[in-house]
Amino acid sequence: MNRSIRIALLALVASSTVPCAWAGVTVPPPGTDPTITRTGRHENRVYAGINWNFGVRDGATVVLGYRAAKISSGGHVDGFKAEIGYVLSGAPTGLAEARVKYLNGSRSVQGELGAGFSFASQAPLVNLGVQGPYINGGVDYLFGKGSLASIGVDTLGEAKKPTETATCAAGSVLVSGVCQID
In a shared domain, residues 62 and 131: yes
In a shared domain, residues 26 and 72: no
In a shared domain, residues 173 and 130: no
C-alpha span between 141 and 128 (Å, rounded): 9
In a shared domain, residues 117 and 86: yes
pLDDT score at 4: 67
In a shared domain, residues 19 and 88: no
In a shared domain, residues 91 and 147: yes
In a shared domain, residues 174 and 127: no
| Contact present, 153 and 135 (Cβ < 8 Å) | yes
Structural domain for 146, as ranges: 41-154
In a shared domain, residues 122 and 172: no
In a shared domain, residues 84 and 16: no
Residue-by-residue pLDDT tens, the chain, 182 positions:
567 666 666 666 555 555 544 455 555 555 667 777 778 889 999 999 999 999 999 999 999 999 999 999 888 999 999 999 999 999 899 999 999 999 999 999 999 999 999 999 999 999 999 999 999 999 999 999 999 999 999 999 999 888 777 778 777 787 877 787 77
In a shared domain, residues 63 and 117: yes
In a shared domain, residues 28 and 53: no
Alpha helices by DSSP H, listed for the chain, are 3-16
Give the total number of structural domains in the chain.
Answer: 2
Q: Which of 153, 159, 149, 105 has the alpha carbon at shortest distance from 127?
A: 149
In a shared domain, residues 100 and 176: no
